[in-house]
Amino acid sequence: MNNILLVILILLLLGALPTWPYSANWGYYPSGLLGVVLLIVVVMLLTGRLPAK
C-alpha cells in the first residue's frame, strides 16, 4: 500500500511541473508542494513512523 502511495506521489510530482503554456505563471508551487509531501512520506518511512508493508 505504501509503495503504491509513493509511486502515485512521484507521478503527481512529475505531472505538476509547469511545462504547459497555461501553467507558466504558476511557478513551482504545485510541484514544490508535492515535493514537500513526498519528502515527508519518505522521512516517515525511513524513521519507521509509517510502516512499509
pLDDT of residue 17: 66
Positive/negative CA dihedral, 30, 33, 16, 4: negative
C-beta of residue 30 within 8 angstroms of C-beta of residue 16: yes
Condensed to tens digits (0 to 9), the pLDDT of residues 2-43 reads: 778 778 877 877 776 666 677 667 776 776 777 788 788 888
Structural domain boundaries in the chain: 2-17+24-47
∠ Cα 31 22 32 (to 5°):
10
pTM of the shown model: 0.54
Mean pLDDT of 44-53: 76
pLDDT above 80: residue 1: no
**45 or 50, which is more confident:** 45
In one-letter notation, the amino acid at residue 50 is: L
How many other β-carbons are positioned within 10 Å of the β-carbon of residue 30?
Answer: 16
